[in-house]
Amino acid sequence: MRIAKVEKEGVVCLKIDGRLDAKTALQAETTVKEVLKEGRLLLLFDLSGMDYISSAGLRVILMAVKELRSKKGKVALCALTPYVKEIFDVSNFSSIIPITDTVETGLQQMR
């Protein structure tokens, strides 16, 4: 798994490529916690390069959602591959986390 952190229009974008599973969840959690510790309130996960997400990966994203919502921040997911989108649908996470088709749409939703 690779995570790239980029700021676009005041939004922190985390592009996650590869597998987000039990082996890589700690790395992802550390990166997300660093963003939260900076006091950032807008977080966009770009999952266009994600091949797989396990329950451990879902937990990392849910942790970010809970933390940011408690601080009146926003989280969105964008550009999910069909398999990853299915995981979010089956787990019902897609009903609690905004999902957009593109990074640009995700950025617009953050405003």
Helix (H, G, I), strand (E, B) or coil at 38: coil
Distance from C-alpha of 26 to C-alpha of 71, rounded to nearest angstrom: 23
Domain of residue 55 covers: 2-110
Is 0.85 surpassed by the pTM of this model?
yes
Residue 92: pLDDT band (50, 70, 90) is very high
As a whole number of angstroms, the distance between CA 14 and CA 75 comes to 11
- Based on the structure, what is the number of domains in the chain? 1
- Strand arrangement, sheet containing 11-20: 2-8, 11-20, 42-53, 74-78, 99-100
| CATH of residue 26 | 3.30.750.24
**DSSP label at residue 93:** G
13-31 residue pLDDT tens: 999 999 999 999 999 999 9
